[in-house]
Structure 1
């Protein structure tokens, strides 16, 4: 019996949903496998994460757990975050495998490097925060604590603070990708990006002042890379999206 024409769109939707479910299951499985591999090392992972603060605490000071299950739950949360961080390339690959068949050839040519660049820049932003910004911020915070106050940070609050910093710096390092995407969508062009350089600098310092801890060093350490990344985005627009001449526009 021939398939009714009205059922073809429904069958196409079902096949897409089945494909989406398969991709999501594979992405979740990759995160779960990495998580199971990291669980035995959860405490060691937390010790490494806490190193920027612990190394700068005064003698006798240390991190504390104010919740009954904090010493167990907090390292497990970190293991999950680390598993998601490590398996992100696989997760993005599954996303790409699902959406790429629906893209045109020129869209694939632009989207693939942008996706890779976005992932690499996010990792770079997290590493920048861990190795450079957090040590400087903790040095400032410890140096400015009031007399008679002992700094004894809860391990759960410390994890939340560091993860927030990682996420914020990772997103801020996506400036070149955002610039290229806006240019590809026709929102801005290369000339407008060059003219808007001064506004980008002001915006970078405003965002840095809002995100970073209250010290000038951390603010500058975020604002300056954002300005440099903006310039990289402008150059990328010039290379990847050359201005079309009137002859090519017709």
Structure 2
């Protein structure tokens, strides 16, 4: 969530979000603008969402899309090139510029934070699992401004929105957990995000891992890192032939001993 100017964030939720100082792993990063997919920053779409750092109920205009971070610490898989894209999972703080130190955590810690902020069903563990489904389904195709904004909206809907009885999240103008104004809901990226959410878990061949970046003075973020392709075991032709012979033999033996 990006403001058009740097603001000091004051949030009652800061006790929960970013309260992971006991974890030792950290990374120093510098904000480098909007998400960069290798050919330059794609920019942000601007819409209105609630809650936000200024209000829990009134939609406020924010920049919607992924962020690019740079780091001299190349020891993590996600930071090995010195640049990586991140996605906000904290709607109660503005993203501050300059240098920031994040605690490097996992989906388990994110799940605990989300369970505290959004008690009930779905719990934080389910929400984090659904973030993985979203990434595995569409992340490899995200590389434009609209797609970046759609992905960020979908992330917010999963982390804070209310799921329906079938477990689906929606880009909504009325949901108290996370809602947008009508212009954002009806925008190209709003419609795209909603389509992804309605088909969540329906497909995808990605194999992404989630890293949770937690801090006390700026937005908490997640990073999705591509892993090796999922292996699909296909029997060799000889194996299939032997299996067929075995089944045929089993059928013969059953017929032989049936009186």
Q: Which has the higher strand share?
A: 2
Instruction: State TM-score, norm by structure 1.
Output: 0.29
Q: TM-score, normalised by structure 2?
A: 0.28
Q: As a proportion of its length, which structure holds more helix?
A: 1
